[in-house]
Amino acid sequence: MATGPPPLTGIKVLEFAGLAPGALHLHLASCPGSTDTVIPAPFAGMLLADAGASVLRIDRAAPSPTQDVLTRRKASIAVDLKAPRGVALVRALVAAGADVLVDPFRPGVLEKLGLGPRELLALNPRLVYARLTGFRRDGKYRDMAGHDINYLAVSGALSMLGRATDTPHPPLNLLADMAGGGATLFQGILLALLARQTSGRGQVVEANMVDGASYLATFPRLMLKTSQGARGRGRNILDGGCPFYDTYATKDGRYVSVAALEPQFFAALMTGLGLAGQGWDERRHDPAEWPALRRVFEDVFARRTRGEWEAVFDGTDACCVPVLDYAELETDPAREGDQRPAVTLRQTPCLAVKQQGDAPGDAATYGQGRGVPGDGYEGAALAPGQGGEEVLRQWLSWTKGKEYDVSDGGFVLTKAESRL
């Protein structure tokens, strides 16, 4: 079956990057006095770009670039938003038909520049004005600085993560920043674009990492009021309390994962471990037996290397597979480490991540196009202004010196065009 262009082909996205210097350029979306970039917002922009959208990042006109590496397929223009002709340039891009604008800043920053949703939606009623904050815009913590762990903490989700005998632990910055923030904003943008198909109008999309993380925690939150989740953090079936849903160290200091929840899977696990017929099948659902069963598993798994356990369980339904790290996945072609689009679209695939050369594989599975340098394992910073002139030519047939100029490192409208 022939494939068509990626699903967001033709969608034009303006993504604001940080406008103030910062050593790591981490997100301070709710911090007064800070306009630093928000990591999850570039993640949303990357998702849009991978789906075929043209994403133009608006950088500050200064020598220090952002350290953002979520730059796949993006271009940049540097704009001095303190200069009227710089603001006019952004307004002109919106008025000329930008589909999406991504605002990662604390509430009020873009409004003070005359680039708030009221002004820009008046210029372009079809614009999807997408905004992302850490804390709720109307909540108790709206004026406070924060990071992923803080948003996760006040969402309630962090209280469920970690061992019973230790403090709560976040899963890196995946749950609030990336899933609850960037991916949720991406979802909101798609919903607004879909609604625009019917209404003909854009709208403001507001996402925050507290609500996003809380929504992702819907199932475990509901389980808190059932016997499957009411025993406290780290004491339940799916949170590390249950010995047949956990990880174990092997003889070579590596790890295996076990998820033998159903009786037939548990039976296959016990057979592979050489523990069949010892009565654990009948006792496994009694939490009082879990400490003893865990000790048995720890002892048995430590007798062989991870590779030896792989040889035992590969091809079985024991739900026991190795814990792989990215160094292995990147270098071992037998592992499932080739980075692909997050979802397979059979007729309009997203763009490839892994470089495919002249003989790409199935486009729907691997993505279409040649992929990107680094194969999804190495990111690259995007220099201010990189690729921006070409995007302005593609979007609007603009040329330097006619519709815009570059002044002190920043793109500005020419005086003849500065009417917006």
As a 3-state breakdown, the chain gives helix, strand, coil percent values, each rounded to 5, of 35, 15, 50
pLDDT digits (tens, 9 = 90+) for 2-15: 789 999 999 999 99
State yes or no: pLDDT of 32 exceeds 50.
no
Return the closest-CA partner of residue 17 out of 408, 385, 398: 385
Provide the token pair at 329.
């996945």
pLDDT band at 334 (very low <50, low <70, confident <90, very high): confident
The CA distance from 1 to 136, in Å, is 45
Domains in the chain with CATH codes: 12-219+368-413 (3.40.50.10540), 245-331 (3.30.1540.10)
Q: How far apart are alpha carbons 110 and 104 in whole angstroms?
A: 10
**Token pair of 333 as six digits:** 């072609």
Tell me which DSSP letter residue 242 carries. S
- Quick: pLDDT tens for 222-232: 999 999 999 99
pLDDT 10s digits, 68-105: 899 999 999 999 999 999 999 999 999 999 999 999 99
Q: What is the pLDDT of residue 357?
A: 76
Spatial separation of the C-alpha atoms in residues 240 and 234, rounded to whole Å: 5
Which residue of the set 177, 211, 246, 338 is catalytic?
177
Name the pLDDT band for 18 (thresholds 50, 70, 90): low
278 compared with 333, residue with greater pLDDT: 278
| CA pair distance 201, 130, nearest whole angstrom | 14
Q: How many other CB atoms sit within 10 Å of the CB of residue 377?
A: 14
| CA angle in degrees (0–180, nearest 5) for 248-251-253 | 70
Residue 106 has pLDDT above 90, yes or no: no
Question: Does 188 have pLDDT greater than 80?
Answer: yes
| Candidate from 37-41, 147-151, 243-247, 404-408 with smallest mean pLDDT | 37-41
Interatomic CA distance for residues 279 and 269, integer angstroms: 13
**Mean predicted lDDT score pLDDT of the chain:** 91
Tokens of 318: 């024991």
Give yes or no for a contact between 35 and 173, defined as CB atoms under 8 angstroms apart. Answer: no
What values do phi and psi take at 350, rounded to 5?
-70, 175
How many angstroms separate the CA atoms of 292 and 367, rounded? 47
How far, in Å, CA of 90 to CA of 374, rounded?
32
Q: What residues contact residue 369 under an 8 Å CB cut-off, 6+ apart? A: 351, 352, 356, 360
- Residue 27 DSSP label: -
CA distance 166 to 19: 39
Report the SS3 class of residue 419. Answer: coil
- Is residue 252 part of the annotated active site? The answer reads no
Instruction: Answer whether 350's CB lies under 8 Å from 372's CB.
Output: no
Quickly state the pLDDT bin for 257 (edges 50, 70, 90): very high
260 CB contacts (<8 Å, ≥6 apart)? 244, 245, 266, 268, 269, 318, 319, 320
C-alpha span between 153 and 169 (Å, rounded) = 10
pLDDT at 26: 38
CA distance 81 to 413: 12
